Amino acid sequence: MLGNSTRSLLLHQKQLLYRTCVLLITLYSFPLWYYNKASLLYSLKELRKMQHRAALWILGAFHTSPTLENKAIASLISIHLHLQKLSRRHQFRMSSLSPNYIVKSLLENRHANNSYPHYLSLENMTSKQRLKIKSSVVDTNNYLNGIFSLFNSLDNEIFS
């Protein structure tokens, strides 16, 4: 509707509208469904179609135009790469939450910042149970283990 008005939007205005409104609304709750071991085939297919339509709308191109070229000209990042970027930011943001935040009590004690552990926390589970869990909390904990790995100052490797 905005593209067909007598004073049409400029290309950069359309792209800004898509990135600030459409993507934010579409990906509002992505940490709930975007995590390791989750089936994302249908979701990514629908998001790719949405982004293809948005690139066509931004450029005013025909429906038969190549997808990758349209996204590059419209300066849109591929949706799966965008989701990976948002996921990493979300996981890193979890480390900066306050200690009394409820999600922090589900992580391991060293990432929970001395908060009272929940009875269903990852700390209370066996390694076999952790492997069966599909959740963004497990992904966040694994990501934080990669960033803030354990350091033992009295390890034998340090003194050799």
Q: What is the pLDDT of residues 49-105, one digit of tens each?
A: 988 888 888 888 777 777 777 777 777 888 888 888 888 888 788 777 777 777 777
Q: Is the pLDDT of residue 36 over 70?
A: yes
Termini Cα distance of the chain: 70
> Per the structure block, which two tokens stand in for 123?
């700390």
Give the DSSP letter of residue 139. H
What residue segments make up the domains of the chain, in order of their start?
11-90, 99-147
The pTM score is: 0.68
Non-local CB neighbours of 116 within 8 Å, separated by 6+ positions: 105
